[in-house]
């Protein structure tokens, strides 16, 4: 097997609080090829911070450190800010959660997409425009030239998220991190957006890290799954093996998923005493 696309060993992210520094990611390790990895966990489990740490975007006073963080042969921890900037977007990109907040309100959609490409490649204006149009078509936006001139408040949530996908994929990165890409969207468009991400990732042979709190969704779209709880990976398995998960937290999560054929009065509550050790 060739060298993995991403190899992380013992990643830690911490933030200061009035009661001292708190680790929000406590020694996460993962290796990723050109495959689809899902990271699941509840709010505050450190999954989003893991995504940001890969891009080295933990802002002070937050801190990150790892024994090893290698992307495609590049030691991410040894890169300066300038070198990191060349990697961000161009080789590792991230789809943010809510297009309502993650698109700049005073720049047109087209300008924001074009910028993602422009900071990495010098292109004549005409080519730049053509690439933006082509990318908008790739994310199934009709009348891309008109949409490119619109402002974020003029597009719907689903369309906003497709714009976000276009923006993050236009420099053709090798690794895409999708941080809760559909949790701000209507259920009716969630599947469309995920199918789109899935298709683009497969066609371009990219690696994908899908961060979500939705176990079912991750199981459907990913090859492998990491389950995180309180900053630690508690379970790592193939998506197809999820039913055989051994850790009590994972079992608890699975048990909490309602099923079509059953009738339950109450969903089971996670019994945290089983693994928290106190």
Partner 1 sequence: MGATLGSGSIRMRRLGRGAGALGGFVVVTALTFLGLLAITFFIGRVVPIDPVLAVVGDRASQAQYDTARAAMGLDRPLAVQFLSYVGEVLRGDLGHSITTNRPVADDLARVFPATLELATLGILIGVVLGVPMGVWAAARQGSWIDQAIRVFALLGYSIPAFWLGLVGLAIFYAGLGWVAGPGRVDIYYDGLVPVHTGLLLVDSAIAGNWTVFFNALDHLALPATILGFFSLAYIARMTRSFMLDQLGQEYITTARVKGVPEWRVIWVHAFKPIRVPLITVIGLSYAGLLEGSVMIETVFSWPGIGNYLTQALLNADMSAVLGATLVIGSVFILINKLSDVLYRVLDPRSRQ
How far apart (Å, rounded) are the C-alpha atoms in residues 33 and 61? 32
Residue among 138 and 167 whose Cβ is closer to partner 1? 167
The pair of three-digit structure tokens given for residue 96, joined into one six-digit string: 């943010």
Provide long-range contacts, Cβ within 8 A and 24+ apart, for 257-262.
257/215, 257/216
Show the binding pattern over residues 197-226: x = contacts partner 1 (CB under 8 A), - = does not.
------------------------------
64 near partner 1 (CB under 8 A): no
153 near partner 1 (CB under 8 A): yes
Show the binding pattern over residues 100-139: x = contacts partner 1 (CB under 8 A), - = does not.
-xxxxxxxx------xx--xx-------------------
How far apart (Å, rounded) are the C-alpha atoms in residues 107 and 167? 13
Show the binding pattern over residues 10-49: x = contacts partner 1 (CB under 8 A), - = does not.
----------------------------------------
Between strands 175-179 and 92-95, the pairing is parallel
Residue among 175 and 227 whose Cβ is closer to partner 1? 175
Assign 57 to helix, strand or coil: coil
Residue among 87 and 225 whose Cβ is closer to partner 1? 87
Q: How many residues bind partner 1 (CB under 8 A)?
A: 37
Interface with partner 1 by CB under 8 A: which range of 70-78, 123-131, 144-152, 192-200? 144-152
- 3, with CB counted inside 10 A (0-12, 13-18, 19+), is exposed
At its nearest, how many Å lie between partner 1 and the CB of residue 146? 5
Question: According to CB under 8 A, which residues from 86 to 105 bind partner 1?
Answer: 86-90, 93-94, 96-98, 101-105
The pair of three-digit structure tokens given for residue 67, joined into one six-digit string: 């024994």
The pair of three-digit structure tokens given for residue 200, joined into one six-digit string: 């683009």
Residue among 102 and 250 whose Cβ is closer to partner 1? 102
Contacts of 227 (CB under 8 A, 6+ apart): 40, 41, 233, 234, 235, 236, 245, 247, 249, 250, 253
Using CA atoms, how far residue 96 sits from 40, 79, 160, in Å, is: 16, 24, 11
Give the interface with partner 1 as residue ranges (CB under 8 A): 52, 55, 57, 81, 85-90, 93-94, 96-98, 101-108, 115-116, 119-120, 143, 145-146, 149, 151, 153-154, 164, 167-168
């Amino acid at each position: 097997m060739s060298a993995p696309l991403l190899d992380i060993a013992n990643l830690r992210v911490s933030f200061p609080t009035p009661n001292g520094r708190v680790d929000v990611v406590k020694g996460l390790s993962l290796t990723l090829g050109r495959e689809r990895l899902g990271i699941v966990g509840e709010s505050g489990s450190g999954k989003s911070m893991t995504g940001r740490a890969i891009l080295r975007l933990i802002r002070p006073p937050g801190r990150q450190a790892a024994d090893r963080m290698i992307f495609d042969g590049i030691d991410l921890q040894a890169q300066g800010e300038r070198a990191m900037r060349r990697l961000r977007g161009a080789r590792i990109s991230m789809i943010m959660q809510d297009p309502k907040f993650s698109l700049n309100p005073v720049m047109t959609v087209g300008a924001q997409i074009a910028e993602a490409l422009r900071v990495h490649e010098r292109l004549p204006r005409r080519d730049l425009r053509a690439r933006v149009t082509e990318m908008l078509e790739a994310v199934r936006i009709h009348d891309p030239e008109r949409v490119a001139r619109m402002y974020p408040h003029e597009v719907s949530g689903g369309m906003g998220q497709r714009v976000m996908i276009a923006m993050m994929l236009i420099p053709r990165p090798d690794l895409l991190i999708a941080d809760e890409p559909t949790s701000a969207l209507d259920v009716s468009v969630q599947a469309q957006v995920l199918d789109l991400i899935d298709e683009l990732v497969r066609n371009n042979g990219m690696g994908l890290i899908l961060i979500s709190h939705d176990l079912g969704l991750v199981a459907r779209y990913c090859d492998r799954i990491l389950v995180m709880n309180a900053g630690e990976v508690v379970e790592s398995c193939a998506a197809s093996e999820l039913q055989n998960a051994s850790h009590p937290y994972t079992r608890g999560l699975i048990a909490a998923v309602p099923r079509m054929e059953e009738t339950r009065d109450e969903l089971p509550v996670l019994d945290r005493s089983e693994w928290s050790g106190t």
